[in-house]
Protein backbone atom coordinates (compact mmCIF):
# COMPACT_ATOMS: atom_id res chain seq x y z
CA UNK A 1 0.00 0.00 0.00
CA UNK A 2 1.33 3.40 -1.00
CA UNK A 3 1.53 6.26 1.46
CA UNK A 4 -0.10 9.46 0.22
CA UNK A 5 2.06 12.50 0.76
CA UNK A 6 0.88 16.01 -0.07
CA UNK A 7 3.70 18.37 -1.04
CA UNK A 8 3.99 21.89 -2.39
CA UNK A 9 5.27 22.64 -5.86
CA UNK A 10 8.40 24.14 -4.33
CA UNK A 11 9.48 20.61 -3.35
CA UNK A 12 9.26 19.48 -7.01
CA UNK A 13 12.88 20.37 -7.74
CA UNK A 14 14.08 18.34 -4.74
CA UNK A 15 11.95 15.37 -5.81
CA UNK A 16 13.30 15.72 -9.36
CA UNK A 17 16.91 15.48 -8.17
CA UNK A 18 16.11 12.47 -5.97
CA UNK A 19 14.47 10.68 -8.92
CA UNK A 20 17.32 11.56 -11.30
CA UNK A 21 19.95 10.26 -8.88
CA UNK A 22 18.06 7.05 -8.09
CA UNK A 23 17.68 5.85 -11.72
CA UNK A 24 14.42 4.16 -10.70
CA UNK A 25 11.28 3.84 -12.75
CA UNK A 26 8.44 5.96 -11.40
CA UNK A 27 4.92 6.83 -12.44
CA UNK A 28 2.76 9.88 -12.34
CA UNK A 29 0.00 11.99 -13.79
CA UNK A 30 0.12 15.43 -15.35
CA UNK A 31 -2.22 17.84 -17.08
CA UNK A 32 -1.60 18.37 -20.78
CA UNK A 33 -1.92 21.83 -22.32
CA UNK A 34 -5.38 20.94 -23.67
CA UNK A 35 -6.55 20.13 -20.10
CA UNK A 36 -6.49 16.34 -20.43
CA UNK A 37 -4.97 14.42 -17.49
CA UNK A 38 -2.49 11.77 -18.67
CA UNK A 39 -0.49 9.06 -16.90
CA UNK A 40 3.15 8.23 -17.53
CA UNK A 41 5.61 5.58 -16.42
CA UNK A 42 9.30 6.26 -16.94
CA UNK A 43 12.63 7.32 -15.55
CA UNK A 44 15.15 10.13 -15.74
CA UNK A 45 18.77 9.99 -16.78
CA UNK A 46 18.28 7.98 -19.98
CA UNK A 47 20.54 8.99 -22.88
CA UNK A 48 19.50 6.45 -25.50
CA UNK A 49 18.33 7.81 -28.87
CA UNK A 50 19.97 11.20 -28.33
CA UNK A 51 22.36 12.69 -30.83
CA UNK A 52 24.33 14.79 -28.40
CA UNK A 53 24.53 18.53 -28.38
CA UNK A 54 23.08 21.02 -25.95
CA UNK A 55 19.65 20.63 -24.38
CA UNK A 56 17.26 23.52 -25.02
CA UNK A 57 14.93 22.64 -22.15
CA UNK A 58 14.52 24.86 -19.15
CA UNK A 59 16.41 23.53 -16.15
CA UNK A 60 13.16 23.26 -14.15
CA UNK A 61 11.43 20.99 -16.72
CA UNK A 62 11.46 17.24 -16.15
CA UNK A 63 12.96 15.22 -19.03
CA UNK A 64 11.58 11.68 -18.74
CA UNK A 65 11.96 8.57 -20.88
CA UNK A 66 8.45 7.09 -21.00
CA UNK A 67 8.96 3.32 -20.90
CA UNK A 68 5.46 2.53 -22.17
CA UNK A 69 5.43 4.88 -25.16
CA UNK A 70 9.17 4.54 -25.87
CA UNK A 71 9.74 8.30 -26.18
CA UNK A 72 11.07 11.27 -24.32
CA UNK A 73 8.69 13.65 -22.54
CA UNK A 74 9.39 17.11 -21.17
CA UNK A 75 7.00 17.87 -18.34
CA UNK A 76 6.52 21.33 -16.88
CA UNK A 77 6.55 20.97 -13.07
CA UNK A 78 3.49 23.20 -12.67
CA UNK A 79 1.48 20.67 -14.72
CA UNK A 80 2.27 17.71 -12.43
CA UNK A 81 -0.68 16.29 -10.50
CA UNK A 82 1.04 13.39 -8.72
CA UNK A 83 4.18 11.24 -8.78
CA UNK A 84 4.48 7.70 -7.44
CA UNK A 85 7.99 6.76 -6.32
CA UNK A 86 9.87 5.26 -3.37
CA UNK A 87 6.69 3.60 -2.10
CA UNK A 88 4.85 6.93 -1.80
CA UNK A 89 2.34 8.82 -3.90
CA UNK A 90 3.25 12.50 -3.90
CA UNK A 91 0.32 14.82 -4.65
CA UNK A 92 1.23 18.37 -5.60
CA UNK A 93 -0.66 21.36 -4.24
CA UNK A 94 -0.25 25.03 -5.05
CA UNK A 95 1.56 27.10 -2.45
Q: Give 58-67 pLDDT, tens digit per residue.
A: 888 889 999 9
Cα separation, 39 vs 92, in Å, equals 15
User: What are the tens digits of pLDDT across the range 7-52?
Assistant: 888 888 899 999 999 989 999 999 999 999 999 999 998 877 777 7
Predicted pLDDT of residue 55: 74
pLDDT greater at residue 47 or residue 5 = 5
Three-state helix/strand/coil letters over 31-95: ECCCCCEEEEEEECCCCCCCCCCCCCCCCCCEEEEECCCCEEEEECHHHEEEEEECCEEEEEECC
pLDDT band at 1, cuts 50/70/90?
low
Amino acid sequence: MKNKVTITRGYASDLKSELANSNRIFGGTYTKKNGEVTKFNGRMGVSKFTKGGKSTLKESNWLIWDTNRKRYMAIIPEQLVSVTAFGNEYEFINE
